[in-house]
Amino acid sequence: MALASVTLNGRGATDRLLAGVVARLIDDGVRVVGALRPTRQGEGQGHCDSDLWLLPRGPAVRITQDLGTGSTACRMDAGAFEEAVGLVTARLAADGADLVVLNKFGLSEAEGRGFRALMAEALGRGVPVLIGVSDTHRAAFDRFAGGMAADLSPEADAILAWCRAVCPGCDPAHARQSSET
Confidence at 78, pLDDT banded by 50, 70, 90: confident
The pLDDT tens digits for 148-179 are 999 999 999 999 999 999 987 787 765 445 44
| Beta strands 129-132 and 51-55, pairing class | unpaired
Closest by CA to 37, choosing from 106, 118, 95, 122, is: 106
| Cα Rg of the chain (Å, integer) | 16
Closest by CA to 98, choosing from 144, 41, 164, is: 164
The structural domains of the chain, ordered by start, are: 3-39+48-180 (3.40.50.300)
| Beta strands 32-36 and 60-62, pairing class | unpaired
Average predicted confidence (pLDDT) for the chain:
87
Q: Phi/psi of residue 98, each to 5°?
A: -90, -25
- In contact, 64 and 75? CB cutoff 8 Å: yes
